[in-house]
Amino acid sequence: MNTSEDRKPVGLLLVVEDTKADVRLLKESFRESGVMVESTVVEDGEEAMAYLLRRGRFNNAPRPDMVLLDLNLPRKDGREVLLEIKSDPQLKSIPVVILTTSTAEEDVVECYDLGANCYVVKPIDLDEYIRATRALAEFWFTVAKYPET
Amino acid sequence: MGERDVVVMVVENPEMRENLLRVLEQAGFGFVMEEVAIAELRNTEVLKESERKFRELFEGASDAIFVIEVGDDNTPGHFIEANGAATQMLGYSRDQLLSMTPNDIGLQREDLYLFTGPVMGDLSTIEVTLVAEDGRKIQGESSTRIVEVSGSMILMCIIRDITERKRVEEALTRENEVTKAMNDLKSALLASSSIEELSSRVFKYAKQLTGGGIGLVGYIELDTGDLVATTLSEEMWDVCNVRDKDPVFHKIGGLLGWILDNKMPILANSPKLDPRSGGVPEGHLPIDRLLGVPAVLGNNVVGLLAVANASREYCDEDLATMQRLAAFYSLAIQHKRSEEVLAKHVENLARSNADLQQFAYIASHDLQEPLRMVSSYVQLLARRYQGKLDKDADEFIEFAVDGAHRMQALINGLLEYSRVSTRGIQFEPVSCDAVLDSALRNLQVAVEESGAIVTRDPLPEVNGDAVQLVQLLQNLIVNAIKFRSDDPLCVHVSVEMTGDEWIFSVRDNGIGIAPENAERIFQLFERLQTEKGGTGLGLAICRKIVERHHGRIWVESELGRGSIFYFTIPVDTYEH
């Protein structure tokens, strides 16, 4: 089993997710996948925007390399967060990956319409979940190229 | 005048005699005239003979003959003579009659044709109504002539009793009308008219066949017991001034209430005197005559038909007519009730079906989330700690992981099952060869692992949901793999066309199914062998898919002899 404590994180992840068990599962699955990521967790859409726009307690927050966004969030819905990120000239180049349980076609279509970079349905099986998180990290943190900020 | 009517007239005046003979001749009457000289006539013997002949004929006539004196002002006076038939018809003695006038037996001036302009000797007949001694009404056909005898005018009135003929005629006419009405009603019922339309039509005939007037026709509503008389809202509505009038009666009193309570008809030509009557509500039209009949089914009153205020008195024939209408109306109500019950059942069934589907979908969908957590963390436990704790812990983790997996399979199956009807796509032409290709591709690993040999005949194109058809064949092949015997598994997919449907078959040489279980296996969560795993949903999903394609699915099998699963798809299936 890979332990990656000795490695440098490949990127900074902003996780927007209100379920603690889901957050933990995500972290554990990154850990199981052997990919070292640094992550910050916010629990709703308002906080996500505050973080990205460096408001309030987030005034010194670093710019994330990727946003993992749940759709059903308290206060501000994931779709609104997505729209705001993709309408903001400063933020829109940050890849936003929708990570949700919804398999509904209309959600998939809407998210891509709003500019989502990728739509991932949370796999039910842990092994698949680990595979998915590894693939995400590998692609968005190592394969993809972004503008220098 | 009939052929048997013979009138003897003794006419002295030659001129008048000529006139009379001419008129009779014109009217086509044969007659015998005996020229008798006045002198001879005065001869007693001749006179006596003539008198005797006259008497004989007069008394022997089967029609009533009245001789009536004519008063100065041309009004009919007393009877001068009446024959035996007359006394028999009326029940008065001759002496009684001779002291009476035509008016006393119901004959009006007009009946005697005095002033309505017949020429003398006119032989046309008119219909009259006589009143007998006992008050009985007699229908008669009357012909009257004014004759001059010995210088004074008399009326000769011959009346034939046609009461019986009239009665038969009327009965026939009525029977005809009732039959016509019943036929019309039957057509209306067969055309599945609404109960309101039928009530209305029954009411129309009830009035028409009983002499007009007013009334109502209504049915008892099954749930509430209310009498719903929609006919009231038609013509009665504007003339009725009852406060809070409503064609739906929660309670109905008086004579109509009595009818409903006692399941018996009421024929009352003076309802106000009837002790059962409670009078009518304020503002109600006064009721002078009433004929009400219950509509009865078995032991229950299901409706009411009532007519009132006809132009004549209600009679037993009216009652009989109303009872026939009531019998019809009972059937109409029964028909309506069964339709209602059926519609309610269908509605309930559809609703509970929809509820169930919604429930299955929501349950399976919403259960996914917590299940994902349980199974993910249990898997994580296994991943991290399998072999690192003690033997018990390993076993516990193993059981938990297994349970989570099974639950996952169940929920997925349930979701799939509920999606067959909720998430199906529209039917389109689908190549079943391509469908089988897809199914086998999806099952590649399982087929290889089991060493199954799958053979196939060319399959047709059908109208259907390709995704579901793939699932159907896939589930059937998975089933064959799951229940294979120790022999190498052979699966053969084939098709046959009979009439207007394709019969597909998936044959295997597996362990087979006991015939008594052949039905059960298509039911939800039905499993014959728990140790084989599975959710008991695969074949239920198959059945649901086949049913959505308007087909049937069944299995022919024996234990140890393999199974053949059949399903049909109509040659032309269009989704409704």
- Residue B312 has a pLDDT of 84
A-B interface: how many C-beta pairs under 8 angstroms?
31
CA-to-CA dists, residue B469 to A147, B296, B569, angstroms = 48, 55, 11
Evaluate if residue B4 carries a pLDDT over 60.
no
Q: Backbone phi, then psi, for B311, in 5-degree steps?
A: -75, -10
Q: Residue B25's Cα: distance from chain center in Å?
A: 61
> What pLDDT does B5 receive?
52
- Let me know: does B409 contact B417? Beta carbons within 8 Å: no
Instruction: Identify residues of B whose CB sits under 8 angstroms from chain A CBs.
Output: 368-369, 371-373, 375-377, 379-380, 383, 408
Question: Which DSSP symbol is given to B275?
Answer: T
Q: Write phi, then psi, for B265 (nearest 5 degrees).
A: -80, 160
With beta carbons less than 8 A apart as the criterion, state whether A37 and A9 touch: yes
**Does the beta carbon of A10 lie under 8 angstroms from any beta carbon of chain B?**
no
Reading the block at residue B43, the tokens are: 């001869």
User: B-chain residues within 8 Å CB-CB of A122?
Assistant: 372
Q: State the pLDDT confidence band at A115, using cuts at 50, 70 and 90.
A: very high
In angstroms, the CA A13 to CA A22 distance is 15
Give the pLDDT of residue B115. 45
Q: Cα-flanking dihedrals φ and ψ of residue B201, to 5°?
A: -70, -40
Average pLDDT, chain A: 87
* B77 neighbors B69 (Cβ within 8 angstroms): yes
Complex ipTM: 0.82
Percentage of the residues of chain A whose pLDDT score is greater than 70: 94
* Test mutation, B366, B369, B372, B402, chain A, max A CBs within 10 A: B372
Say whether residue A142 is in contact with chain B using an 8 A CB cutoff: no
From CA B67, how far away is CA B148, in angstroms rounded?
12
DSSP class of residue B149 equals E
Provide the shortest C-alpha distance from residue B528 to chain A (in Å): 28
The beta-strand segments (E) located in B185-299 are 214-220, 227-228, 248-249, 266-268, 290-297
Predicted confidence (pLDDT) at residue B283 exceeds the cutoff of 70: no
| pLDDT for the residue B112 | 76
Provide the pLDDT confidence category of residue A26 given band limits of 50, 70 and 90.
very high
pLDDT range class, residue B546, cuts 50, 70, 90: very high
Q: What is the mean pLDDT of residues B344-366?
A: 82
- Partner-chain contact B373 A101, CB within 8 Å: no
Q: How far apart are CA B154 and CA B262, in angstroms?
A: 59
Q: Residue B288 is encoded by which pair of tokens?
A: 């002078």
Tokens of B314: 């209600």
Compute the distance between CA of residue B480 and CA of residue B469 in angstroms, rounded to an integer. 17
* pLDDT, tens digit, 9 for 90 and up, residues B320-337: 888 998 999 998 888 888
Query: What is the arithmetic mean of pLDDT over B82-92?
Result: 90
If pLDDT is split at 50, 70 and 90, which confidence band does B76 have? confident
Ramachandran sector of residue B86 (left: φ over 0; alpha: ψ -120 to 50; beta: rest): alpha
Nearest to B227 by CA among B217, B236, B237: B217
Q: In what order do the strands lie in the sheet with B563-570?
A: B453-456, B490-498, B501-508, B563-570, B553-557
Q: How high is the pLDDT of residue A41?
A: 94
Q: Which residue has the higher pLDDT, B494 or A73?
A: B494
> Collapsing DSSP states into helix, strand and coil, what is residue B479?
helix
Each residue's pLDDT tens digit, B484-500: 888 899 999 999 988 88
DSSP string, A39-82: EEEE-SHHHHHHHHTT-GGGTTPPPPSEEEE-SS-SSS-HHHHH
Flag whether pLDDT at B431 surpasses 90: yes
| pTM for the full predicted model | 0.50
CA dist., res. B290 & res. B271, Å (int)? 6
Contact A125 B375 (CB under 8 A): yes
pLDDT at residue B199, as a whole number: 87
**Measured distance CA(B510)–CA(B564) in Å, rounded:** 10
pLDDT of residue B1: 42
Residue where the block lists tokens 């059960």: B520
What band does B417 get if pLDDT is binned at 50, 70 and 90? confident
Quote the pLDDT of residue B288: 82
Q: What is the largest CA-CA distance in chain B?
A: 163
Q: What element of type H or E holds B508? A: strand B501-508
Say yes or no for a CB contact (<8 Å) between B376 and A127: no
Centre a 10 Å sphere on the Cβ of residue A117 and count the other Cβ atoms it contains. 18
Chain B hits for A129, Cβ within 8 Å? 376
Q: In this predicted structure, what is the pLDDT of residue B117? A: 45
Phi-psi group of B298: left, alpha or beta (phi > 0 → left; psi -120 to 50 → alpha; rest → beta): left
> Among the listed ranges A11-15, B31-35, B352-356, B451-455, which one has the minimum average pLDDT value?
B31-35
**Interchain proximity B368–A28, CB inside 8 Å:** no
Q: Give just the sign of the alpha carbon dihedral B265, B271, B275, B280.
A: positive
**pLDDT confidence bin for A99, thresholds 50/70/90:** very high
pLDDT at position A7:
62
Whether B127 and B151 have beta carbons less than 8 Å apart is answered as no
SS3 state of residue A136: helix
